[in-house]
Amino acid sequence: MPALTQVACPSCGTGNRIAAGRDPLAAKCGQCGVQLIAGASIDVDDEAFAKHLANTKGLVVLDVWAPWCGPCRMMAPHFADAAQRLAGKAIFLKMNADLCQSPARLGVRGIPALFLFEDGKKIAHQAGLMTADGLMQWIQTARRTP
């Protein structure tokens, strides 16, 4: 899986290019100086989600969840594990369905709902609880599907 070449800052949303051959895990935002990739998921609202889609070249994985959802809470550590395993290769975002409008625009009918975007375009979606290994497999399979 190729490394990310541009990412949105998790703090200010500014797009930052990552030079070829550079360690993406060492990259910092040119605007605010925050580390761009921490190997953890990022909580987003509608505005931050839009900035990540617009300013990330590479994979973005979105988990739409809610605090009252048992399967969502069960999946949280698996999502965090996958985010750590794919640090520098994908950005992992978490969006609370109760606080945002994007889930309705994405057609979410059940949670947890997972979406995979590449260069800002949706390439796959899936509903239901997944393990970290299942997430990894789903991402690999979705990237190979035309």
Active site residue 72: yes
Q: CB under 8 Å to 34, separation ≥6 — which residues?
A: 9, 10, 11, 12, 28
Beta strands in 41-134 (DSSP E): 42-43, 59-65, 90-96, 113-118, 121-127
Give me Rg for the CA atoms of the chain.
Answer: 14
Active site residue 100: no
Q: Which of 12, 29, 32, 69 is catalytic?
A: 69
Q: Which of 9, 12, 29, 72 is catalytic?
A: 72
Which residues does the annotation mark as catalytic?
69, 72
